[in-house]
Amino acid sequence: MTIVGTLVVEGPPRSLATLARAVPISVDGAVKGQVRAGKRLTLALAPGSHTIQAGGGPALPVRLGPGLTTHVRVERDAAGKLHLVEAPL
């Protein structure tokens, strides 16, 4: 039996600018899904170090533990560019 880590990606806060747009989420350079404002994307991944990216934003390094859940959130900076931040539970 293989134990996986879970990554939960929360979409950006709901606003008129973000409601209609889906944000692609990449893990280790491969697109794994997309998330919309106010929604969540849950991914089962191998434990260990990964890089997560929202749209064309900067990569966020995360370490997933076996059987544990890690939360990240998509946000926009002052210039409107997407990036990920670790989200507290």
Average pLDDT value for residue range 14-41: 85
- pLDDT category at 13 given cuts 50, 70, 90 is confident
Query: How many Å apart are CA 64 and CA 5, to the nearest integer?
Result: 5
- pLDDT category at 1 given cuts 50, 70, 90 is low
Full-model pTM: 0.88
* pLDDT score for 63: 94
- Comparing CA positions, the residue from 38, 14, 37, 35 lying closest to residue 24 is 35
Average pLDDT value for residue range 14-36: 84
